[in-house]
Chain A
Amino acid sequence: MSLSVDIRHSLGALDLQVDFQAPTGITALFGQSGTGKTTVINAVAGLLQPDVGRIELSGQTLYDSSRGLSLAVHKRRLGYVFQDGRLFPHLSVRQNLVYGQRFAARHGSGPSLDEVATLLGLEDLLNRRPGALSGGEKQRVAIGRALLSRPRMLLMDEPLAALDSARKAEILPYLERLRDRTEIPVLYVSHSVAEVARLATTVVVLEAGRVTRAGHADRILSDPGMVRQLGVREAGAVLSATVFAHHPDGLTELSFSGGRLFLPHMDLPHGTPTRVRILAQDVLLSRAAPEGLSALNILPVRIIALRDGVGPGVVVQLQIGEDRLLARITRRSADQMALQPGDAIHAIIKSVSIARTDVGAG
């Protein structure tokens, strides 16, 4: 399953011109508001006809302007989770969930209501009305409803944007489960770096209607050139790790390609794959292995590149095992330490600086 999009569209001040692929996994369409993300996802869904271009899903043409072909929305079989949920107010949660099933019946089998209810924790909500649900519950029902329509692909337009951080934290694990346990590719529109770091396997970066970067999430997020776009306080690389040990003093030890990482306790069993986002501003650099320091994570790294940022900052891209890390330090420090690409140095990360919400299933 793979989606390929190559379209051009003018809409008001926006001149959209994008060309990208979305393979299996979660492909994040990332960009600030007004960069055309929703226009792209609506074009894929068929809610909008782009001026020019082609959209294909696994060889089937959904849209082709040169042949005047546009598959009707209801025939595309793409589950769309809208930012505002859009549950049917006159139907119960159960009726909302099975709404798409009757139309999907002829397309073979798919997940059952029970399976989806379990996956998304909806068992106790089935007989309620949408009006009696919280924002987070509504979004979970909307995701379940899309899944039960047996889509070939899921489209999610900022499904968490309307929720507060507690509700976001409540839904993120379900989205991770969706990513790790189903084969359905997901096109995920977001302007939140944290969400992208947690969920995306592939990232497509949109800027003013153009794709400026596209590729594997680890590579894009650890690209120093992304710092400006992500914002200096949001930029940070993602490490893939597994839970190695829980210590009685309340720390959890993770193992990854570059060594071990100590974090505040996480309620995950041994061997669980995890993704840890480490913000560039939380990483210190040192030439010598420091002693008598309170930070628990002192890791040997090699400098790949240095890049001037905005203001007095420099972003240093580091190789750590097979993973990459970003560190943001001042130009003055970089000069005093005479940092050069290829240098072997140490990266220092405070355990408590890693936010609980920045650790997710991997």
Chain B
Amino acid sequence: MSDWLGPEEWQALALSLKVSFWSTLLSLPPGILVAYALARWQFRGKQVLNGLVHLPLILPPVVTGYLLLLTFGRRGLIGAWLEEIFGVVVAFRWTGAVLAASIMAFPLLVRALRLAIEAVDPKLEQAAATLGASRPWVFATVTLPLILPGLIAGAVLGFAKAMGEFGATITFVSNIPGQTQTLPSAIYTFLQVPGGEAPALRLVAVSVAVAMGALLISELLARRAARRVAGA
């Protein structure tokens, strides 16, 4: 297997997995919060928040990438501040790829979570409160276990989206082997050079395999969680 993929290809695969893993993990807490707010709370600017979350789904990815570069680049509003206060630079680093993937996958994650939260009967949460559970406890012991299938589905969808993210990533953090060259960027690069079809095809096969694997695992986990939630 190690002979089958060249070192550059291995590097792209490993980086893509790393980026997708962190982007999924870091998106979950804000994703749950935003989905909960959209599903349950009434507040001013709800539609604005909803629009902002979904914007990356509609905008051309290159636009999202460019906007990220403007705000998180070293001279960008947030980017300059991040570097000054924390000494953190995300532009043209793998962490920037995580940020780009997170933003692009966020709408998918929030949609899945929001549907799951809306399906939880608020009467069950009320019952938990009458039994002495404070709000955080109600969330941890009733809401969260009940949305688990939706959470898994959303997370896997987000992971798959992050694996495939190309436009925003290449615009924001470029295509540096070992730093920001994810699977799609590597495929793109191979296709630009003569004789690159073979490695490109191998990476395509890997992409398909990873995506299928992720879907299968999520289906399995979600089914198990749904059985638990159904109480049978």
Contact = CB atoms under 8 A, between A and B. Distances in A.
Contact of A130 (B126, B128, B231): B231
Interface residues of A, number: 30
B231 A90 contact: yes
Given A90-B231, A129-B231, A80 B141 contact: no
Contacts of B129: 72-74
B124 A88 contact: yes
Contacts of A86: 121, 123-124, 126-127
Nearest to B228: A90
A79 B131 contact: yes
Interface in B127-167: 127-134, 137, 141-142, 145-146
A100 B142 CA distance: 12
A129 B230 CA distance: 9
Interface string A119-157: 000000000011110000000000001100100000100
B229 interface: yes
A179 interface: no
Contacts, number: 74
Given A84-B123, A103-B137, A90 B229 contact: yes
* Nearest 6 interchain pairs by C-beta: A103-B132, A89-B231, A100-B131, A131-B231, A80-B130, A131-B232
A146 B131 contact: yes
A74 B232 contact: no
Contacts of A88: 124, 127-128, 142, 231
Contacts of B124: 86, 88-89
Interface in A42-69: 45, 47
A99 B142 CA distance: 10
Interface of B: 121, 123-124, 126-134, 137, 141-142, 145-146, 228-232
A89 B229 contact: yes
A287 B97 CA distance: 99
A360 B168 CA distance: 74
Given A47-B126, A78-B130, A129-B231, 12 more contacts: A75-B132, A86-B121, A86-B124, A89-B229, A89-B230, A99-B131, A100-B133, A103-B132, A103-B133, A129-B232, A149-B131, A155-B130
Contacts of B128: 88, 99
Contact of B132 (A45, A84, A104): A104
Given A74-B134, A149-B132, A80 B127 contact: yes
A194 to B, nearest CB: 27
Among B126, B142, B229, find the residue whose CB has the most chain A CB atoms closer than 10 A.
B126
A90 B232 contact: no
Given A86-B123, A90-B145, A45 B130 contact: yes
Nearest to A106: B132
A145 B127 CA distance: 10
Contact of A79 (B126, B130, B232): B130
A146 B126 CA distance: 13
A130 B141 CA distance: 16
A305 to B, nearest CB: 43
Interface string A89-130: 110000000011001100000000000000000000000011
A89 B231 CA distance: 4
Contacts of A145: 131
B131 A131 contact: no
A155 B126 CA distance: 14
Contacts of A174: none
A100 B229 contact: no
A82 interface: yes
10 contacts: A47-B126, A74-B132, A75-B132, A86-B123, A89-B229, A90-B231, A99-B133, A99-B141, A100-B132, A145-B131
Contacts of A72: 129, 134
